[in-house]
């Protein structure tokens, strides 16, 4: 009886996927507590749909959240946090209005205007631990060396939660200035509205934010097919390991 050697296992393929923004509030970050021009803090939410990767990812090597600058003033740092599960059902609005007049969507005042408050009960998703998880997953600094049109990256220092996103458990990300004391430090980043709505209706859609995920693809467990043929004076058995 002769035995055929199984086919060697191949290394799992390394893959790269670039996801467009699934939903976002206008990503404009201000630090203008004392400024008479626009005396409000501004923070932002963003979310990406990764469910198309279900069943395809064995492990994630790295992930980068990429933006393009629209305008900026001064210098500062933007921290990126995971949204707390209690605020997972925030709703992207369809308009471009400012203030708290977006009934049925997320606003500064409410998780869902007219329906539900933010988890902490405060405006602006202000409370760490209740509204967003306390440890940033990345940060990005800007300053005088930056200009409109610059590409800026948040390189995620943890990626395990992206597996939850792939499974559909996705609360999104929250961005805010690291220092909200100094007035008039701000940066405006193109959102998923680039090329559609004011103030970036004339911008290229290539300036919209994206999430770049580098991962190892899942390789299914091999299956064996047993082939047996009987002949005069001998038998033959072959076992082949198939990789899909």
Which pLDDT score is estimated for 13?
63
State the chain's maximal CA–CA distance in angstroms.
98
Three-state secondary structure readout of 98-129: CCCCCCCCCCCCCCECCCECCCCCCHHHCCEC
Which pLDDT score is estimated for 197?
61
Residue closest to 213 by CA, chosen among 12, 14, 16, 50: 16
Which pLDDT score is estimated for 40?
63
Chain centroid to CA 105: 20
Which pLDDT score is estimated for 237?
29
Peptide bond just before 9 cis, omega within 30 deg: no
The string of pLDDT tens digits covering residues 155-167 is 999 999 999 999 9
Q: Which domains does the chain have, with CATH numbers?
A: 12-83+132-221 (2.60.120)
8 Å CB contact between 195 and 205? yes
Global pTM exceeds 0.75: yes
Which pLDDT score is estimated for 132?
97
Distances (CA, A) of 220 to 29, 50, 55, 58, 144: 44, 20, 10, 10, 50
Q: What's the average pLDDT block by block, 10 residues per block, for the chain (244 residues)? A: 41 64 41 40 86 92 92 87 95 61 78 91 92 97 91 95 95 88 77 67 80 86 39 30 25
Which pLDDT score is estimated for 103?
75
Which residue blocks in 142-197 are alpha helix, DSSP H? 160-166
Which tokens go with 151? 């590409």
């Amino acid at each position: 009886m002769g035995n055929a050697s199984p086919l060697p296992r191949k290394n799992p393929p390394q893959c790269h996927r670039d996801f467009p923004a699934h939903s976002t509030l206008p990503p404009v970050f201000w630090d203008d507590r004392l400024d008479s021009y626009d005396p409000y803090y501004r923070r932002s939410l963003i979310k990406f749909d990764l469910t198309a990767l279900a069943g395809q990812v064995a492990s994630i090597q790295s992930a980068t959240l990429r933006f393009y600058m629209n305008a900026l003033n001064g210098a500062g740092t933007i921290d990126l946090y995971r949204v707390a599960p209690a605020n997972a059902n925030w709703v992207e609005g369809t308009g471009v209005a400012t203030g708290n007049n977006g009934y049925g969507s997320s606003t500064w005042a409410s998780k869902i205007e007219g329906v539900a408050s933010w988890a902490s009960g405060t405006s602006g998703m202000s409370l760490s631990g209740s509204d967003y998880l306390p440890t940033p997953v990345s940060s990005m600094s800007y300053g005088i060396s930056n200009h409109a049109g610059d590409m800026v990256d948040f390189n995620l220092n943890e990626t395990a939660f992206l597996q939850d996103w792939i499974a559909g458990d996705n609360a999104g990300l929250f961005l805010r200035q690291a220092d909200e004391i100094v007035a008039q430090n701000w940066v405006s980043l193109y959102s998923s509205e680039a090329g559609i709505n004011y103030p970036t209706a004339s911008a290229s859609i290539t300036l919209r934010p994206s999430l770049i995920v580098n991962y190892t693809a899942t390789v299914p467990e091999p299956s064996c097919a047993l082939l047996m043929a009987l002949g005069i004076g001998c038998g033959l058995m072959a076992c082949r390991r198939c990789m899909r």
